[in-house]
């Protein structure tokens, strides 16, 4: 059994990151899952949140994703999301401003709630990486 | 003669400045094509992974989904026409519209009602001018579409498609469509772009994966939370990514068509300038000749008059 994962983090309009990793942690609709090499094939839905990728060298990449998928098969992990950003690409100030704006836009609004979740995920990603 | 000479000079000048503009537009289009192609390439991994996931679900579960079932008696079809926002791209928009009209004819012959959705201002203008109804239109992005737009269009079309049951009709909601078609321009190469019509819904999942080799079994996926839920979330995205693909292709085609049109406009301007320069030179020479003959004529007349008086 191969001892590392081939990870691809893909957004709708670009390939965000790809490489080899030891472990991937993502938040699915059923809760957080950790994927290690040799994981059983799985296709799962992600919620807005943070994905951690631990590379072979012990580095940790953090990315914010909005709802998407995680598919694992034969040590290949693909994470698909309409919008995905690596932590170092995120503008923290802007994310905070987005959060404020979305929060003030009203709580009953579905769109605002979604924006709140997305902004929170981005802030979390930056904080986790920092 | 001097007046017309000035006129020709003015024409040469205005043609020259037009040539500068068309030349600039040609160069801009050329540089944007490269970007459009890069965007199309960047979007490819997402489409690939999504297709793989969809075919995996389709292969390993027997869940039927509303988006994949063929209606028994299709009566209404939606057509999304992808045109450009701006003209100056040769026959780009009109050939897409022509293709769409052909498809509309075909659907009508099959006894289906056709509803039109449009992306791009040129298409809007075409239908508005002919006072034909358009259900919904989107514009303002034709040369660099974003995924959000595709998302929006996808949601609308899926909504129209799913809103199909009798219950909805009873509640007064306009009945949905049974088929969704997309007409866009496929980017084959810088020189060849063809208008294409494809049926988007009901979905036919193209089997992305090769048949499994003898010794390698396809992964037996676990679905979380359940196959039906996964499919529910997957298929709309699949549709949206197909639309995004169409928009990207159309954008690249539009730019290529514009570059071609502007190149021939520049060439034509060159030819016109040459022609006008020749005519202007001719006029100038004719003017000189006439002046000389007038002077000579005047001198002769004077000489005659002097000879007569002496």
Q: Is the peptide bond before B48 cis (omega within 30 degrees of 0)?
A: no
What per-residue confidence (pLDDT) applies to B90?
Answer: 85
- As a whole number, mean pLDDT of residues B6-11 equals 89
Dihedral of CA B294/B296/B298/B301: which sign?
Answer: negative
Chains A & B: contacts with CB separation below 8 Å: 83
Q: What percent of chain A has pLDDT over 90?
A: 0
Pairing state between β A5-11 and A76-81: parallel
**Cβ contact B200:B157 at 8 Å:** yes
Domain residues of chain B, as ranges?
Answer: 59-208+220-257
Same domain for A80 and A37: yes
Angstrom distances, CA of residue B27 to CA of B23, B34, B37, B141? 6, 11, 16, 20
- As a whole number, mean pLDDT of residues B19-40 equals 91
Same domain for A48 and A25: yes
At B211, the pLDDT band (50, 70, 90 cuts) reads very low
A119: domain range? Answer: 90-129
Same domain for A72 and A20: yes
Residues of A in contact with B150 (CB under 8 A): 12
CB-count exposure of residue B212 (10 Å: 0-12, 13-18, 19+)? exposed
B35 touches chain A (CB under 8 A): no
CB contact under 8 A, B46 and A80: yes
For testing contact with chain B, the best of A8, A9, A10 (most B CBs within 10 A): A10
pLDDT of B135-144, one tens digit each? 888 888 888 8
Residues of A in contact with B234 (CB under 8 A): 69
Same domain for A67 and A11: yes
Same domain for A37 and A98: no
pLDDT of A65-110, one tens digit each? 887 888 888 888 888 888 888 877 777 777 777 777 777 766 666 6
What per-residue confidence (pLDDT) applies to B175?
Answer: 62
Q: How many CB atoms lie within 10 A of CB B118?
A: 25
**Cα B231 from Cα B228, distance rounded (Å):** 5
pLDDT of B248-277, one tens digit each? 989 999 999 999 999 999 999 999 999 999
Q: What single-letter DSSP state applies at residue B272?
A: H
**Cα B100 from Cα A56, distance rounded (Å):** 53
CB-count exposure of residue B90 (10 Å: 0-12, 13-18, 19+)? buried
pLDDT of B164-199, one tens digit each? 555 544 454 456 788 889 999 988 888 888 898 888
Does the pLDDT of residue B12 top 90, yes or no? yes
Residues of B in contact with A69 (CB under 8 A): 53, 230, 233-234
At B216, the pLDDT band (50, 70, 90 cuts) reads very low
Same domain for A75 and A15: yes
Same domain for A75 and A12: yes
SS3 of B202, please?
A: coil
Q: How many CA atoms lie within 13 A of B168 on its CB side?
A: 12
Query: Which chain B residue's Cα is nearest to A33?
Result: B224
**Residue range B59-208+220-257, CATH number:** 3.40.1380.10
Which CATH number goes with the domain that contains A28? Answer: 2.60.15.10
A2 touches chain B (CB under 8 A): no
A10 touches chain B (CB under 8 A): yes
**Cβ contact A18:A9 at 8 Å:** yes
Same domain for A13 and A64: yes
Same domain for A15 and A48: yes
**Cα A74 from Cα B209, distance rounded (Å):** 14
Residue the block writes with tokens 């000879």: B307
Contacts 24+ apart (CB under 8 A), B187-191: B187/B37, B187/B40, B187/B249, B187/B250, B187/B252, B187/B253, B187/B256, B190/B33, B190/B256, B190/B259, B191/B256, B191/B260
pLDDT of B221-233, one tens digit each? 788 778 788 888 8
A6 touches chain B (CB under 8 A): no
Q: What single-letter DSSP state applies at residue B209?
A: S
Give, to the nearest 10 degrees, the angle between helix B92-109 and helix B121-129: 60
**Cα B74 from Cα B180, distance rounded (Å):** 11
Single pTM value for the model: 0.81
Does the pLDDT of residue B240 top 60, yes or no? yes
Same domain for A60 and A32: yes
- As a whole number, mean pLDDT of residues B271-286 equals 92
What per-residue confidence (pLDDT) applies to A121?
Answer: 77
Pairing state between β A31-35 and A60-65: unpaired
**Cα B38 from Cα A123, distance rounded (Å):** 30
**Cβ contact A64:A127 at 8 Å:** no
Nearest to B46 among A12, A40, A71 (CB): A12
What per-residue confidence (pLDDT) applies to B213?
Answer: 42
Same domain for A99 and A75: no
Query: Which chain B residue's Cα is nearest to A10?
Result: B46
Same domain for A62 and A31: yes
Nearest to B49 among A14, A78, A83 (CB): A78
SS3 of A52, please?
A: strand
Most confident of A67-71, B17-21, B46-50, B145-149: B17-21
Q: What is the tally of structural domains in chain A?
A: 2
A14 touches chain B (CB under 8 A): yes
């Amino acid at each position: 059994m191969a001892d590392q994962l081939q990870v691809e983090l893909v957004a709708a309009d670009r390939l965000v990151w790809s490489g080899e990793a030891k472990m991937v942690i993502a938040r699915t609709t059923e809760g957080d899952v950790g994927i290690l090499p040799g994981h059983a094939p799985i296709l799962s839905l992600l919620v807005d949140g943070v994905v951690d990728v631990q590379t072979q060298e012990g580095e940790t990449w953090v990315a914010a994703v909005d709802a998407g998928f995680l598919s694992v098969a034969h040590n290949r992990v693909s994470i698909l999301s309409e919008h995905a950003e690596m932590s170092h690409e995120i503008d923290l100030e802007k994310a905070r401003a987005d959060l404020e704006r979305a929060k003030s836009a009203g709580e009953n609004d579905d769109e605002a709630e979604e924006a709140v979740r997305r902004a929170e995920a981005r802030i979390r990603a930056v904080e986790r990486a920092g | 003669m001097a007046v017309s000479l000035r006129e020709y000079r003015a024409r040469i000048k205005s043609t020259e400045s037009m040539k500068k503009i068309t030349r600039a537009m040609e160069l801009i289009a050329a540089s944007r094509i490269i970007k459009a192609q890069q965007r199309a390439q960047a979007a490819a991994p997402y489409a690939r992974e999504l297709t793989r996931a969809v075919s995996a679900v389709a292969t390993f579960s027997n869940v039927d989904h509303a988006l994949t079932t063929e209606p028994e008696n299709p009566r209404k079809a939606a057509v999304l026409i992808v045109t450009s926002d701006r003209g100056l791209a040769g026959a780009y928009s009109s050939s897409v519209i022509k293709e769409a009209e052909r498809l509309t004819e075909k659907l009508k012959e099959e006894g289906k009602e056709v509803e039109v959705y449009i992306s791009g201002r040129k298409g809007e203008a075409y239908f508005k001018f002919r006072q034909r109804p358009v259900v919904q239109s989107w514009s303002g992005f034709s040369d660099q579409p974003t995924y959000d737009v595709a998302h929006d269009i996808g949601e609308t079309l899926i909504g129209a498609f799913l809103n199909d049951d009798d219950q909805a009709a009873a509640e007064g909601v306009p009945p949905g469509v049974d088929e969704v078609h997309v007409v866009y321009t496929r980017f084959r190469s810088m020189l060849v772009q063809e208008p294409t019509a494809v049926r988007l819904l009901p979905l036919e999942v193209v089997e992305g994966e090769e048949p499994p080799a003898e010794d390698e079994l396809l992964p037996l996926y676990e679905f979380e939370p359940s196959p039906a839920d996964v499919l529910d979330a997957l298929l709309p995205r699949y549709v949206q990514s197909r639309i995004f693909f169409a928009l990207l292709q159309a954008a690249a085609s539009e730019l290529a068509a514009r570059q071609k049109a502007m190149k021939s406009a520049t060439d034509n301007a060159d030819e016109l300038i040459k022609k006008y320069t020749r005519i202007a030179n001719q006029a100038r020479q004719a003017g000189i000749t006439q002046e000389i003959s007038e002077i000579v004529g005047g001198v002769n007349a004077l000489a005659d008059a002097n000879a007569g008086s002496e």
